[in-house]
Structures are given as structure tokens and as C-alpha cells.
Amino acid sequence: MSVLTAQQIEKFHQDGYLKFGRVISDEQVERMRTALSRVIEEELTRTDYSNLPPEFAYGHARKGEGEVRRAIHQFVNMWKVAPEYRETIHHPLITGAIRELMAVEHVRLWHDQVISKPPGDNEKFQCHHDFYFWPLERPTMITCWLALDDATADNGCMHVVPGSHRDPRFQPPDCDLSPDIFLEPKPMGPGEPGSLYQEVRTWDREQTVPVELKAGECMFHHCLNYHFTPQNRTERQRRAFVIIYMPDGTRYKHAQSPHHVCTSYLNLTDGQEMNLPQFPICGE
């Protein structure tokens, strides 16, 4: 049985994002929050890191490291350290929707991350898209952004630039916008390919669309869709679980991101399929 309607799939293809709605219950949200609190406490007091994946050290302070001011607080690949998160990357509604959006039979996890914007302890991360941060061959990845707290425009919900994923003006001139990755490239205004590639990084709330979510709801966005999350200006937490999927058969491209935290220790070769246990098939 299909998870998405034809209209939802078409909207995603046109806009590069889709507000989907609730996928996990309040009880599941609370279990994931509790697990995150447990992991944070363990990291603040841990002295033995030998049984943890190398990438898990990225993005947050550990014992003895002091205070590190960051635009985000990030825990990479929670699925490897917390069963509550490992369960969620395989959620049938999420993985079913991803397969339908990609029009593929099998999807793999690229990586996940918890991103937290505590009250008064965060900054804005500039408007960007994700693909060129990753050592992956083609821009076919889709992200599920799952709210663990109510996410609003005031506390740092996702803000997106609709259609930017298929508008050549927002992408570098050599970006692969082939029709076979369901992009249907089309400029939304005047300008040459790449003409807005630098400018869009300065865009703020006024040029973007907020995607507000209740805790337990999710949205999907394409890896070439421009987005950012503004500063949390409230006294409430804004935690999100971000799950990035790739089609089975995706290949490694070293030059694009040679030091990526999820691959730098794996000794992958150019063109190698990402079919290792570190990138599991999801939802089956």
C-alpha cells in the first residue's frame, strides 16, 4: 500500500520539500528525548571511547574539552548508540515515503544526526544545501527532518527555498540536474546557471518559507533544496532527529568531501558502492 499520494509526490518534485505530518506517537517522542538525555549525560562523563563509532565524537563537547560555542549541537549516527533511534531509521512510514519519493525499491541510510538548538545557546546556520558536503556521486539523497519538540519559526524550525533544488541558478554550473533523478530542471526567474549560488547563502527569513512541525511530525527535503534553521529565540528546546537516506547503489566520490566524518576511516575507493554495514538497508 502506498504511503504518499500522487499529489504529495508531485509537490515534492516541484518544491523540493514536503511537510508530511505525524509519524511517531507522543510516547515514542518521549522515549527518544529520554534516550538523548541519557546519551548527553554519558558523553559529559565518558572516559572510554573505544566502543563508539569515530563519527559520534563530531559536533559536541566531551569531558575535558571545555565549552565549545557552535552554531548547532550535533550527535552523528545516533542509531549506532541508542536503540530508540535505530528503530526510527527503519520506521515503515518514513522509509516507505522515501522509497516512493525516490522511485526505488531499496534505500540505505547515509547517516543520521540529532541537531539541538537549546534556548539562548545557539546561532543561525547559513542558508545552504547538503549535497556538496557529502562524498556521494549523484544528488539523489532525501532527508527526513523529524521534530522531537514543537518546531516553530521562533524557535528554529526548518526554513526552505521552494524549487531551489531544480533551479539551475541556485546550483553550480556543473551540478547534475539530469531528468532521471526526477528534478525536471527549470529556472524560476532570469539568470544564468550558478548566478544565485553565492547570494542564496546570505538569505534569511524574508526569502524563505518556514515549515512548522509538532513534535512527532516530519518533513522531507531534497539534498539540493536550500534551507536553514534560524536562531532559537524562545525559552523552549528545539530538538530534531535528521535521517538522510540514499538509493541503494549510491557510489562514493572522494574528491567532493575527502574528510567526511562518516567515511574518512573506511578507506573507500572512488566509485565504490556504499553497501557496507555502516550504511544499512532501511525499512525491510
pLDDT tens profile 123-134:
767 899 999 999
What CATH number has the domain bearing residue 183? Answer: 2.60.120.620
Identify whether 278 is part of a domain.
Answer: no
Identify whether 140 is part of a domain.
Answer: yes
Range of the domain at 104: 6-44+54-61+69-210+220-256
Identify whether 277 is part of a domain.
Answer: no
**Averaged confidence pLDDT in the chain:** 92
Instruction: Give the whole-angstrom CA distance, residue 122 versus residue 113.
Output: 17
pLDDT on residue 253: 97
pTM for the structure as a whole: 0.95
Domain count, the chain: 1
The pLDDT tens digits of the residues spanning 176-208 come to 988 888 888 989 999 999 999 999 999 999 999
Identify whether 177 is part of a domain.
Answer: yes
Identify whether 284 is part of a domain.
Answer: no
Task: Tell how far CA 45 is from the center of its chain.
Answer: 28
pLDDT on residue 174: 87
Instruction: Give the whole-angstrom CA distance, residue 183 versus residue 181.
Output: 6
Residue 61 has pLDDT above 60, yes or no: yes
| Distance set, CA 1 to CA 4, 5, 144, 240 (Å) | 9, 11, 20, 28
pLDDT on residue 24: 97
Identify whether 34 is part of a domain.
Answer: yes
pLDDT band, very low/low/confident/very high, at 30 (cuts 50, 70, 90): very high
Identify whether 283 is part of a domain.
Answer: no
Identify whether 88 is part of a domain.
Answer: yes
